[in-house]
Amino acid sequence: MARVVVISIEGEDDLWVADLDSRTVQPLAAPKSGGLQTVADLRATGAVVTNGVNVAVVVKSTEAALSGHYDG
């Protein structure tokens, strides 16, 4: 099973790729074609796209995530 996730935060244009096995997060070059371009186009219209993710929560800091408090 792949343990790589492409993520972005609402209100930001950048895409990021998180490799959970290597514990790295890096910017992802803007896609020019294919499925990821379709996802990027949908995001530009305000759509939220998920596939294979069962939890995603934005928090203000690592400390907030570890404390059990989620931002609204």
Summarize pLDDT for 36-50 with one digit per residue, the tens: 899 889 988 999 998
Give this prediction's pTM. 0.76
Structural tokens at position 6: 């492409």
Is the Cβ–Cβ distance between 4 and 18 less than 8 Å?
Answer: yes
The residue among 49, 66, 41 whose CA lies nearest residue 6 is 49
Q: What are phi and psi of 6, to 5 degrees?
A: -95, 125
Taking the mean position of all CA atoms in its chain, how far away is CA 11? 12
Summarize pLDDT for 3-56 with one digit per residue, the tens: 999 999 888 888 999 999 999 999 998 888 898 899 889 988 999 998 888 988
Where does 7-61 have alpha helices with state H? Answer: 35-44
pLDDT exceeds 60 at position 72: no
